[in-house]
Amino acid sequence: MKFFVDTADIADIKEMADTGLLDGVTTNPSLIAKSGRDFIEVTREICSIVDGPVSAEVVALDHETMMKEAETLRKIADNVCIKVPLTIDGLKTCKKLTSDGTQVNVTLCFSANQALLAAKAGATFVSPFVGRHDDNGFDGMSLIEDIVTIYSNYGFETEVLVASIRNPVHVLQSALIGADVATMPPAVIKGLFKHILTDKGIEGFVADWEKTGQSIPTS
Supply φ then ψ for residue 37, to 5 degrees: -115, 170
- What's the Rg (C-alpha) of the chain? 20
Question: Which pLDDT score, from 0 to 100, does residue 34 have?
Answer: 85
Average pLDDT score over residue span 86-92: 98
pTM of the model: 0.93
- Inform me whether the pLDDT recorded for 60 exceeds 90: yes
Buried b (16+ CB within 10 A) or exposed e, 135-171: eeeeebbebbbbbbebbeeeebebbbbbbbbbebebb
% of the chain beyond a pLDDT of 70: 100
Domain residue ranges of the chain, discontinuous segments joined by +: 2-194
Question: Which pLDDT score, from 0 to 100, does residue 137 have?
Answer: 86
- Inform me whether the pLDDT recorded for 189 exceeds 90: yes
Tens digit of pLDDT for each residue in 10-28?
999 999 999 999 999 999 8
Tens digit of pLDDT for each residue in 28-39?
888 888 888 899
Spatial neighbors of 71 by CB under 8 A, at least 6 apart, are none
- State the chain's mean pLDDT as an integer: 96
Domain 2-194 class, CATH top level: alpha beta
List the catalytic residues. 83
- Inform me whether the pLDDT recorded for 70 exceeds 90: yes
Question: Which pLDDT score, from 0 to 100, does residue 47 have?
Answer: 97
% of the chain beyond a pLDDT of 90: 91
Q: How far apart are CA 91 and CA 97, in angstroms?
A: 10
Containing 26, the helix (H) or strand (E) segment is strand 24-26
Tens digit of pLDDT for each residue in 126-181?
999 999 888 888 899 999 999 999 999 999 999 999 999 999 999 999 999 999 99
